[in-house]
Chains A and B, each alone.
Chain A
Amino acid sequence: MAEQLPLTLALDEQARFENFYPGPNGELVERLRGLAEGETGVLYLWGAPGSGRSHLLQAACHHCSVRGGASLCLDLSSPGEWAPELLDGLEGLDLVCLDESWRLAGKADWERALFHLYNRCRERGTPLVISGDAAPAHSAFQLPDLRSRLGWDWVYRLQPLSDADKAEALVYLAALRGLDLPKETAHYLLRRCPRDMATLRHLLRALDTASLASRRALTIPFVNAFLARNPRWQTQAGLFDAL
């Protein structure tokens, strides 16, 4: 079986607020936008894998950067090479985003460093965004002070999109690519393909290419023929082969 690649790494799109379909997460997106624009506060967001945590953190940093701010988006998925001192002084930035914070859980020196960064950011008013895989009280952090602080300011759960939302999201994301994706085609895809947004984004890219090559609109017959030619898109395992 082919090696499973993280889908996010293969994305050719840059993470932006504009290409994130908020669905039920509109309030969260607005809050993040506010923080990237200089509002103060600490925001902890948690959700299932593939729900868009990394996308939103990167989008916030990008938004801050284009406004001339200094920001840092730290992917903590493999902090092996780094030391907790990496978090020193980050409160001097305009926005700090820490992705996959749960990777630090159980590492006492990292937990303390994160706790102190939290305090310094609050004291200085530096916006700090942290992503997690569970609500603060259920996080794997050992330091009670840290768990309690993570629940203090803004805590949001990234709500999963319903199928109706996903169909809307597909139409919306297609429009961003200049594609007209009829709603019925979006529902058709949702009935036949893996329904996580990361896969659906990939599929949309493939359909974009195919539609451009054949100069055909994204009708159900066209998509049907595409899936018949590319059956791997209909299963998760097949998708990984395609990458």
Chain B
Amino acid sequence: MTHALWDRCLERLAAELPPQHYKTWISALRAREGDETLHLYAPNRFVQDWIRTRFLERIQETLETVAPGWQVELCIGNPGDGGEGATRDPTPKRTPPSPAPRQATRPPASRVVVREETPNAMRTNLNPAFTFDSFVQGKSNQMARAASEQVANNPGRSYNPLFIYGGVGLGKTHLMHAIGNQILKERPNARVAYLHSERFVQDMVKALQHNAIDRFKKFYRTLNVLLIDDIQFFAGKERSQEEFFHTFNALLEEQQQVVLTCDRFPKEVNGLEERLKSRFGWGLTVAVEPPELETRVAILLKKAQEMEVELPQEVAFFIAKRIRSNIRELEGALRRVVANARFTGREIDVDFVREALKDLLALQEKLITIDNIQKTVAEYYKIRYTDLLSKKRTRSIARPRQIAMALAKELTNHSLPEIGEAFGGRDHTTVLHACRKVQELREQDARIDEDYRNLLRSLST
């Protein structure tokens, strides 16, 4: 929204102040005019302080020249949400306006009125697009999805809390929203809240500042479903953990559903109280793994469908084979392809995608090299890098070598002879045998499977 008075001030300030100062601080202010006072809203206290100490005098002077007698009032927040309940300056308004010398026009620090955004009213924060229907299931996430559906269909009674953990960008948040959306579909009046752990901390800090901790407690402890994302960010925040602990207990006692996500297994989160870790394990803990190729392809096709774009299957395979780390990156790549196709008016085929994503793909290839795989595997098994390339055939060397070969086949686009060559000049049939052997071992031995998945994760993220 524009305001004539502030716009005129802005014109002058833009001409007078260094552009960098103007763009960093002045253009971030929003204005509201009222009763010979120009209310300027800074986005946060830091900006407010910065403006007050460095620019307020200048702004006041400028305002004096544009509208004599008007005063500046510096607030925090947005004109729309600070209207009621704001702290008004108790000092009487400066009257009458006088052509006072420069110094006198400087508003004393006490003129600064601080307004805070009011705490959020009840809102679910759920993204309606994240449903079970739009979630692509694969081997890597089927357990988490099944548990989430179970919880959504029977909240508070099946698995409580449901703890979903896994690496970044693998769909944990999607599942959480899907649970909330599904519950609201069945029970539109249910009190469901999705929030990032940081929001919980912020709300609590605000509640403490405004002496409204009882309202805060009441809000969280009377929910039917509490969905908290990324609880690893609670680490080290003792007061928040304390409050969350009580909220958590209150909800569980009332058989209200709690769903949590984290980037790792609860016991592995440093800086989290033991009693919280232990309670997180009361319900069900499920992992989400990086998606395998077929799931990545299915995700791309689904996303393309949502964007109303026809994505040929070979193109989806082309992208999915090269971008393996997480779904966010996959989505980002697809978004670029579609935007580029729309911008250039070209048809989406493999050549086009190769060109559109050339920077991204070059980086991927640079990131995962056979050499890199060999070094990572050697380090993982605590053997020497040169052993992998040697003729040694003892099992402690041969197994890691086979695993490294299988990883090289899965993660790079090198041919089998090239991979063999990189492992001390071995034949391509040796590589083929290694890949089959590793597949077989992974099915038989959980430890080898875990080693393989750990290595895959560390190499592709």
**Which residues in A have some Cβ–Cβ distance to B below 8 Å?**
14-15, 26-27, 30-31, 58, 61-62, 64-65, 68, 70-75, 82-83, 85-90, 92-93, 112, 116, 119, 123, 135-138, 144-145, 147-149, 151-157
Complex: how many Å from CA A88 to CA B326? 28
0/1 string, B171-214, CB within 8 A of A gives 1: 00000000000000000000000001010000000000000000
Residues of B within 8 A of A116 (CB): 196, 198
Closest partner residue, chain B, to A146 (CB atom): B168
0/1 string, B151-180, CB within 8 A of A gives 1: 000000000000000011100000000000
Which of B20-28, B66-74, B96-104 touches A?
B20-28
Residues of A within 8 A of B2 (CB): 68
Task: Give the one of B23, B25, B125 with max A CB within 10 A.
Answer: B23
User: B35 at interface (Cβ–Cβ under 8 A)?
Assistant: no
Which of B220-228, B240-248, B329-337, B441-449 touches A?
B329-337
Complex: how many Å from CA A154 to CA B343? 14
9 extra A-B contacts, CB within 8 A, seeds A85-B45, A151-B329: A64-B27, A86-B46, A87-B44, A89-B44, A90-B44, A92-B117, A119-B196, A144-B263, A145-B230
A-B contact pairs, 16 of them (CB 8 A): A68-B2, A70-B29, A71-B23, A72-B25, A72-B47, A74-B24, A82-B46, A92-B78, A116-B196, A138-B363, A145-B230, A149-B328, A152-B169, A152-B331, A155-B360, A157-B359
In contact, B23 and A61 (Cβ under 8 angstroms): yes
Selected contact of B27 from candidates A71, A85, A144, A154, CB within 8 Å:
A71
Closest partner residue, chain A, to B20 (CB atom): A75
Residues of A within 8 A of B45 (CB): 85, 88
Selected contact of B367 from candidates A89, A119, A137, A157, CB within 8 Å:
A137
**Which residues in B have some Cβ–Cβ distance to A below 8 Å?**
1-2, 7, 10, 19-20, 23-25, 27-30, 43-47, 76-78, 117, 125, 167-169, 196, 198, 230, 233, 263, 325-326, 328-329, 331-332, 335-336, 339-340, 343-344, 359-360, 363, 367, 461
Residues of B within 8 A of A112 (CB): 233
The distance from the CB of B25 to the nearest CB of chain A, in whole angstroms, is: 8
Complex: how many Å from CA A70 to CA B77? 12
Complex: how many Å from CA A102 to CA B329? 19
Residues of B within 8 A of A61 (CB): 23, 27
The distance from the CB of B335 to the nearest CB of chain A, in whole angstroms, is: 7
The distance from the CB of B339 to the nearest CB of chain A, in whole angstroms, is: 6
Selected contact of B329 from candidates A64, A70, A148, CB within 8 Å:
A148
In contact, B325 and A85 (Cβ under 8 angstroms): no
A-B complex: 4 closest residue pairs judged by Cβ atoms: A148-B168, A72-B28, A89-B44, A152-B328
Residues of A within 8 A of B29 (CB): 70
The distance from the CB of B82 to the nearest CB of chain A, in whole angstroms, is: 11
The distance from the CB of A228 to the nearest CB of chain B, in whole angstroms, is: 35
Complex: how many Å from CA A42 to CA B280? 33
In contact, B168 and A58 (Cβ under 8 angstroms): no
Task: Give the one of A58, A70, A123, A147 with max B CB within 10 A.
Answer: A70
Residues of B within 8 A of A88 (CB): 43-46
In contact, A89 and B27 (Cβ under 8 angstroms): no
Task: Give the one of A58, A71, A72, A136 with max B CB within 10 A.
Answer: A72
Residues of B within 8 A of A148 (CB): 168-169, 325-326, 328-329
The distance from the CB of A14 to the nearest CB of chain B, in whole angstroms, is: 6
In contact, B263 and A83 (Cβ under 8 angstroms): no
